[in-house]
Amino acid sequence: DFQQLLGESASLSLAMINNFGNQLIEVEKNQMRRDLLDAKDRLMAYLRDVAVESGQVVFELPLKKKELANILGITPETLSRQFKQLALEGKIIVNNRQITMCQKNAVNYAFF
């Protein structure tokens, strides 16, 4: 039934292919970051991606911090330390789940 639905709806098929392609790109990007960047740079790259995607320098984290740590390949404790470090460096402001990007050109510069 599902295959028949996909055959009848080109727009649904295309949307699904695009979604899978975007997911694959995210997986590859995260793997490259894990291989090449330290924990702080991985977190900053993720925050920049969210800021660019939202078009805002102030945004809510779309994930729970434990989930974010898992995606970034770090422990929740390391994630907390990196949030604090980025805040001390003046690159972000953290207010619970709200993040403000402070670094000059933070949204225009991204890793990978």
Quick one: tokens of 77?
Answer: 């404790």
The per-residue DSSP string of 18-48 comes to HHHHHHHHHHHHHHHHHHHS-HHHHHHHHHH
Return d(Cα 40, Cα 55) in angstroms, integer.
22
- Is this prediction's pTM over 0.75? no
Is-contact 92 99, C-beta < 8 A? yes
The residue type at 64: K
Is-contact 57 105, C-beta < 8 A? no
Is-contact 112 46, C-beta < 8 A? no
- Residues 91-107: pLDDT tens digits? 999 999 999 999 664 54
- Residues 49-90: pLDDT tens digits? 999 989 999 999 999 999 999 989 999 999 999 999 999 999
